[in-house]
Amino acid sequence: MRTVFLPSAILALAFFTPAVSQAQDDDIDALRAAVAEMRADYDSRIAELERRLAVAEQNAAQASYSAQQSTIAAAPSTGAPSSASNPAIGVVFQGQARQTDASGGEEEEGYLLGETEVIMQANVDDKFRAWLTAAIALEDGESVIEIEESWVEATALPAGFGARFGRFASGIGYLNDKHSHQWDFADQPLPYKAFLDGRYFDGGLQMRWLAPTDLYMELGGEVLQGEGSGSGLESSSLFANVGGDVGINNSWLAGGSYLEIDDSTSVSVAHFLWKWAPQGNWRQKNFVFQTEYLERRDAVTDKGWYAQAVFQPFQRWRFGVRADELDLDSDSNDPSRWTLMMDWSNSEFSRFRLQVARDDDGTDTSNEWALQYIHSIGAHGAHEF
Amino acid sequence: MYKKLQRTLLIALLATLPAAANAELNVFACEPEWAALARELGGDLVEAYSATTALQDPHYIQARPSLIAKVRQADLVICSGAQLEIGWLPALLQKANNRNVMPGTAGYMEASSYVLRLNATTDLDRAKGDIHPQGNPHIQTNPHNIAVVARVLSDRLQEIDQVNSTYYDEYFEKFITSWNEAVIEWEERAVDLVGRRAIAHHRSWVYLFDWLGIEEVANLEAIPGLPPTAAHLGKLTSEFSAGGADVIIRAPYQHAKPSEWLSERTGITAIVLPLTVGGTEEATDLYSLFDDILARLNGTINDD
């Protein structure tokens, strides 16, 4: 009360008493300054109180935010596709219509229902994860269910180790462990078809180790059952991958691998991949160059390679070209092929592809057309690089 | 051949081992805002890496080898979550062989798990586009959410690096005090934005609008996650040519054409807002991010 009265009194004094002398003027100025100082002090104190009140309100608001969320926070989403259902189930529908002008070719023609892939996956517990890919296909009018992959992975090994056991696609090469719906063309390159029967699947154990470096360096090895009916574990492999970024727009992956199918047969693969996207913003525009060289050694040495480039100039549309060739020791006719591809994706879950290939089997050339669809429903795992 | 290859690989393996020793806490953030927050809360003890830039669409990132290598070395992975990174983060975690950052451990956190998520739905029909059943993941545009996540992140840093927990606590107190002051200032600056109507390219701003009281009257995408169609833009043109909206907003990584097209035909100002740190030249950290968002929004209103 007193403090309020005092400044007012001084103010009244200041305004209503005319200046009498210089000394009085000085006193009045001093008083004015004191009043101004007091005011400023009050203002800042009030501002401080207001600020504290606002902070308190803020904290209360944040606390209620947190409280509202306690139920959700108790069961945080895992980001895994399996969070909506356990296990995560996805189905990929594929099919294609083919037409060829080759005379008496061994390739099938007309409408082919491709493999329908059923994928189930989930974490088993805090240390294991399991994956099943069952391919349902029609073979000679019969429905066939083939277990393509059925594996368990240890997710809690120390020191950058990972292990997978069961039946899986070998980690050799680049394309070998990519599902058919991830391919950029309607079929596999010639060396994969000829040397690995499309993709090399086997049962056994795979170990992988990743170096703790900014440069991606992965080493892996597999002990596999092999194709022989004998004592098993006849087959083994080793593979190494390195990769990284070049600036923000480019990234690359290179690797070498060696697969011993049995005592007398082995396949070596070298692969290289370059991906480009402006600003690393993959969605609208991107370009991928990919090439692999394969060598299969048994009694003779057969070689083969492919190189492909796929360009997405704008969202939804991609255009690709591929060259592949075999250099066969066992055959004087070395097949080679040029393939052009164009595909359209309505979303990341649906894609249509038109492909035309010019095939040279060493003696004759032929043209082949394919129209393919790939659609997927349900949970869809994140794609690898 | 086989033996030789084996030996070479073994030597390569041994040569890389010493690199494993590292005193700092490595934080792998899926988005720049969480890397920025980790830097605020971790000071010199934290080395934060962002997997994406503000010019990238975090829905669509390649699971690049360089990112796998970073996750391999991380002590903590922090992402927005709510399935924003569903197309690439699982692949990184699976390939990185790092058990310290697997979901369920202290080294893995999804920021959106700790705030009130908007737009959550139980309707999972993909015909309706990119569905995030757990709600809209772009939570960073409400500074109150940042404050909530800061508390959790600081707790995680203290859990992982217990020796330095007082250090992290001090940094948290320092941050939260100045952050709350900044929020008050932003809210004062934003009073004129209440009730304004915005058209957003994608539903990237629902938390910003919720915070500032801005009404989202339309989206340029007819279906979330699919590019805007001509038919939908045409519909918006007739709907808004006589007014009805104050601003058209897009993030730096979203195509400029649709919003410019609509702006030309309706006269509504189209602007780019930074969705995260680095989205504009001005938005260099979390504070300047909100400074810039408000400056840009206020700028459009003052133009009217």
Residue-wise pLDDT for B59-107, tens only, equals 889 999 999 999 999 999 999 998 889 889 999 999 999 999 998 899 9
The answer to whether B53 contacts chain A (CB < 8 Å) is yes
CA dist A189 and A196 (Å) reads 11
- Judged by CB atoms closer than 8 Å, whether chains meet at B64 and A385 is answered as yes
How confident is the model over B215-237, as a mean pLDDT?
Answer: 88
Mutant choice from A68, A85, A172, A384 vs B, greatest count of B C-beta within 10 A: A384
**Structure confidence by residue, pLDDT tens digits, A74-97:** 444 444 444 556 788 999 999 888
Put simply, whether B102 touches A (Cβ < 8 Å) is yes
Give dist(CA A223, CA A263) in Å, integer. Answer: 14
Residue range B158-181: mean pLDDT, rounded: 92
Encoded tokens for A13: 């004094």
Helices (H), B161-270: 165-189, 206-212, 230-240, 256-266
Q: Note which residues in 247-276 of chain A have CB less than 8 A from chain B.
A: 248, 251-253, 258, 260, 275
Residues B91, A80: C-beta atoms closer than 8 Å: no
**CA dihedral over B217, B218, B223, B227, signed as positive or negative:** negative
Closest by CA position to B27, among listed B41, B46, B43: B46
Portion 136-175 of B in contact with A at CB < 8 A:
144-145, 147-148, 151
Kindly state the tokens that stand for B283.
């938005």
Q: Report ipTM for this prediction.
A: 0.80
Summarize the confidence of residues B257-283 as an average pLDDT.
Answer: 91
pTM (two decimals):
0.81
Which amino acid is it at A144? V
Q: How many CB pairs under 8 A join A and B?
A: 212
B11, B5 contact by CB (below 8 A)? no
With a CB-CB cutoff of 8 Å, which residues 293-332 of chain A face chain B? Answer: 315-316
pLDDT at A15: 46
pLDDT band for position B20 (50/70/90)?
A: very low
The values of phi and psi at residue B121, to 5°, are -145, 155
Cβ of B56 within 8 Å of Cβ of A279? The answer is yes
Partnered with residue A142 across adjacent β-strands are A139
Whether B21 has its CB under 8 Å from any CB of chain A: the answer is: no
- Which of A69, A77, A350 is the best residue to mutate to test the B interface, defined by the most B CB atoms within 10 Å of its own CB? A77
- pLDDT, position A80: 45
Q: Is any Cβ of chain B less than 8 angstroms from the Cβ of A67?
A: no
Q: Does A80 touch chain B if contact means CB atoms closer than 8 Å?
A: yes
- Preceding omega of A18 cis (within 30 degrees of 0): no
> Tell me, what's the pLDDT at A2?
44
pLDDT recorded at residue A76: 45
Residue A100 DSSP class: E
Beta-ladder partners of B249: B200, B271
Q: Is the pLDDT of residue A64 over 60?
A: no
Q: Do A81 and B86 touch (CB under 8 A)?
A: yes
Residue A3 has pLDDT above 50, yes or no: no
User: What CA–CA distance (Å, rounded) separates B82 from A106?
Assistant: 49
Say if residue A151's pLDDT is above 70: yes
Q: Distance between CA B74 and CA A174 in Å, rounded?
A: 26
B99–A contact, CB cutoff 8 A: yes
What's the rounded mean pLDDT across residues A151-166? 94
Q: How far apart are CA B100 and CA B102, in angstroms?
A: 6
Does pLDDT of A72 surpass 60?
Answer: no
pLDDT digits (tens, 9 = 90+) for A179-195: 888 999 999 999 999 99
With CB atoms and an 8 Å threshold, state whether A79 touches B103: yes
* Distance spanning both ends of chain B, measured CA to CA: 76
Higher pLDDT, B225 or B228: B228
pLDDT of residue B249: 94
Interface of A with B in 205-234 (CB under 8 A): 208-219
Q: Which two tokens stand for residue B89?
A: 């983060």
Contact status, residue A105 vs residue A114, Cβ threshold 8 Å = no
* From A15-19, A53-57, A109-113, the region with the lowest mean pLDDT: A15-19
Contact yes or no for B104 and A348 at CB 8 A: no
